[in-house]
């Protein structure tokens, strides 16, 4: 066991290993309990017990905060989704912010900080981390680190000092590690269901604010009361928020999409084969042709996903109605659109034939670009109930309602009719010639 002092911690003698060696190499006849007791005492004498002793400490007000990531699951839009839990916690007060992100990429990492600084109303002079690759490029001796260039710029912008834990020493930021577990058990149980990630984060924000009334064991004041003592010591926020965006030059392909981070985003077909500029935010993608913004999408994460907006393809499908059924953008939309649209399509095709019917229907779909879905679908329902069979009828109803000239429409078959005039009497005019 003396030799173990110079060996890796995970390759040192355990009591079981000592007991087995004594039996195999020295025909030992004693009990394992006796060996365990001896090994425990010997390790203490030799200083290789592996058990660390910690010094009680009282954090200073408004000086340090800890940052860490965790994993969790949520139901977003009806789909079980694996998410990353960003946590920032004040060492002094215990006040914390928890947010969910799709990934741990640097943009999400920076966004978590920006939201955290806003939540706390200032910047902690010191932030404590693990050796995250989003911040650390290379670990040197002791506490020295080579920082990622972009992280170093971010750190400099907010003027805080990063402090990184020693390898395998998670207890050096034990407060935030405990927060990760606390947040999972208390904020994410039962598994939350939300329509969107932003809605989920709003719920988490409310939970974090409610935690302010909590009194941590062994402390005389609540979290919010302690925070009031420290907030005056935080560094002031800069007047302008850090610009957390990335840009890239891309060329639109034959499908009228651009590929960014192994995912595709659509643009209007008029820009196919053009060079464009893509601006990436943490949750959004904007595409520009020159200075004109031509498309905006929610950001995709993962690989080989497509974000296709129907408005980008409808003009082309109008020219090629035979592609309507197989067009991916239509198939994706069709799986979710209301029944009234399907009924309208059937009616148009029955009255005008498939090709003309599809074209008329596409003209109705184009109305979504400038009008709300609720207004369009209400106009479609009215058109169906009144027997109207063209896109112009739907547009007429929609515009009249938006102009405040709404009127009821009765079914065409119920409208009053008059007998056709007898035009033969006109032959008697002029002397019967």
Q: Which pLDDT tens digit goes with each residue over 132-152?
A: 899 999 988 877 899 999 999
Comparison of pLDDT for 389 and 153, the residue scoring more: 153
pLDDT in tens, 97-120: 999 999 999 999 999 999 999 999
Which one, of 275, 336, 335, 334, lies nearest residue 345 by Cα? 334
Quick one: average pLDDT of 216-229? Answer: 90
The pLDDT value recorded for residue 417 is 58
**Given a cut of 90, is residue 318 above it in pLDDT?**
yes
pLDDT beyond 80 at 412: no
Q: Kindly tell me if the per-residue pLDDT of 15 is higher than 60.
A: yes
Residues paired with residue 127 on neighbouring β-strands, in sequence order:
65, 162
Q: How far is CA 320 from the centre of its chain?
A: 36
3-state secondary structure string across the chain: CCHHHHCCHHHCCCHHHHHHHHHHHHCCCCCHHHHHHHHHHHHHHHCCCCCCCCCCCCCCCCCEEEEEEEEEEEEECCEEEEEEEEEEEECCCCCEEEEEECCCCHHHHHHHHHHHHHHHCCECCEEEECCCCCCEEEECCCCCEEECHHHHHHHHHHCCEEEECCCCCHHHHHHHHHHHHHHHHHHCCCCCEECCHHHHHHHHHHHHHHHHHCCCCCCCCCHHHHHHHHHHHCECCCCCCCCCCEEEEEECCCCCEEEECCEEEECCHHHCCCEEEEEECCCEEEEEECCEEEEEEECCCCCCCEECCHHHCHHHHHHCHHHCCCCHHHHHHHCCCCHHHHHHHHHHHHHHCHHHHHHHHHHHHHHHHCCCHHHHHHHHHHHHHHCCCCHHHHHHHHHHHHCCCCCCCCCHHHCCCCCCCCHHHHHHCCCCC
Q: What is the pLDDT of residue 430?
A: 58
pLDDT at 199 over 50: yes
Which of residues 429 and 187 earns the better pLDDT score? Answer: 187
Structure confidence at residue 331 (pLDDT): 96
Percentage of the chain modeled with pLDDT above 70: 87
Residue 282 has pLDDT above 80, yes or no: yes
Nearest to 278 by CA among 262, 295, 298: 295
Q: What is the pLDDT of residue 309?
A: 97
pTM assigned to the model: 0.75
pLDDT score, position 126: 95
Cα–Cα distance measured from residue 341 to residue 283, given in angstroms and rounded to the nearest whole number = 31
Inform me whether the pLDDT recorded for 423 exceeds 90.
no
Q: What is the pLDDT of residue 61?
A: 66
**Residue in 50, 29, 39 with CA at minimum distance from that of residue 1:** 39
Mean pLDDT throughout 56-80?
A: 84
| Mean per-residue pLDDT over the chain, rounded | 88
pLDDT tens-digit readout, 322-379? 999 999 999 999 999 999 999 999 999 999 999 999 999 999 999 999 899 999 999 9
Residue 53: per-residue pLDDT: 55
pLDDT at position 222 is 95
The Cα–Cα gap between 119 and 259 comes to: 35
pLDDT of residue 427: 62
Structural domains of the chain, ranges and CATH numbers in brackets: 3-46 (no CATH), 64-233 (3.30.420.10), 246-307 (no CATH), 314-414 (no CATH)
Tell me the angle at which helices 197-210 and 174-187 cross, rounded to the nearest 10 degrees.
110
Length of the chain: 433
Mean pLDDT calculated for residue range 192-211: 96
Q: What is the CA radius of gyration of the chain?
A: 34
* Terminal alpha carbon distance of the chain: 134
Check residue 388 and give its pLDDT: 81
Cross-strand partners of 235: 123
pLDDT for 88 beyond 90? yes
Q: In the structure, what pLDDT confidence band is assigned to residue 433 with cuts at 50, 70 and 90? A: very low
Q: What phi, psi does 189 have (nearest 5°)?
A: -125, 125
Distance CA 308, CA 329 (A): 6
Is pLDDT larger for residue 80 or for residue 421?
80
Q: For the ranges 24-28, 47-51, 222-226, 404-408, which has the lowest average pLDDT?
A: 404-408
Is 90 exceeded by the pLDDT of residue 285? yes
In angstroms, the CA 327 to CA 321 distance is: 10
Query: Quick one: pLDDT band at residue 127, thresholds 50, 70, 90?
Result: very high
The predicted structure's pLDDT at residue 219 = 83
pLDDT band, very low/low/confident/very high, at 44 (cuts 50, 70, 90): confident
Tokens 């064991």, residue located: 217
């Amino acid at each position: 066991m003396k030799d173990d002092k110079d060996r890796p911690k995970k390759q040192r003698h355990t009591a079981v290993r000592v007991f087995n060696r004594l039996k195999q190499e020295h025909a030992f006849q004693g009990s394992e309990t006796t060996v365990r007791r001896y090994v425990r005492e010997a390790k203490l004498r030799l200083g290789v017990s592996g058990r660390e002793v910690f010094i009680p400490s009282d954090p200073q007000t408004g000086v340090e905060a800890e940052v860490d990531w965790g994993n969790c699951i949520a139901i977003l839009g009806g789909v079980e989704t694996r998410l990353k839990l960003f946590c920032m916690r004040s060492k002094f007060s215990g006040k914390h912010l928890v947010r969910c992100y799709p990934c741990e990429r640097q943009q999400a990492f920076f966004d978590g900080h920006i939201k955290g600084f806003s939540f706390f109303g200032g910047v902690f002079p010191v932030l404590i981390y693990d050796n995250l690759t989003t911040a650390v490029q290379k670990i040197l001796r002791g506490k020295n680190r080579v920082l990622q260039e972009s992280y170093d710029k971010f750190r400099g912008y907010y003027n805080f000092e990063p402090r990184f834990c020693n390898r395998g020493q998670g207890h050096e930021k034990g407060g935030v590690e405990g927060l990760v577990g606390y947040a999972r058990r208390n904020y994410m149980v039962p598994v939350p269901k939300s329509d969107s990630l932003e809605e989920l984060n709003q719920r988490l924000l409310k939970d974090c604010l409610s935690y302010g009334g909590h009194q941590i064991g062994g402390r005389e004041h609540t979290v919010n009361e302690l925070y009031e003592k420290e907030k005056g010591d935080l560094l002031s926020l800069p007047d302008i928020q850090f610009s957390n965006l990335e840009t890239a030059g891309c060329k639109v392909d034959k499908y009228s999409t651009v590929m960014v981070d192994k995912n595709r985003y659509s643009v209007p077909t008029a820009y196919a084969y053009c060079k464009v500029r893509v601006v990436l935010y943490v949750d959004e993608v904007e595409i520009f042709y020159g200075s004109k913004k031509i498309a905006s999408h929610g950001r995709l994460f993962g690989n080989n996903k497509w974000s296709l907006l129907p408005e980008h393809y409808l003009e082309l499908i109008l020219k090629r109605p035979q592609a309507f059924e197989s067009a991916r953008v239509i198939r994706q939309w069709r799986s979710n659109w209301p029944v009234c649209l399907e009924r309208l399509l059937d009616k148009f095709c029955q009255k005008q034939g498939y090709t003309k019917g599809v074209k008329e229907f596409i003209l109705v779909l184009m109305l979504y670009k400038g009008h709300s879905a609720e207004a369009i679908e209400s106009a479609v329902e009215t058109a169906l109930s009144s027997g109207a069979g063209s896109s112009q009828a739907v547009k007429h109803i929609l515009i009249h309602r938006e102009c405040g000239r709404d009127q009821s429409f009765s079914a065409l078959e119920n409208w009053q009719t008059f007998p056709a005039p007898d035009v033969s009497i006109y032959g008697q005019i002029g002397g019967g010639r």
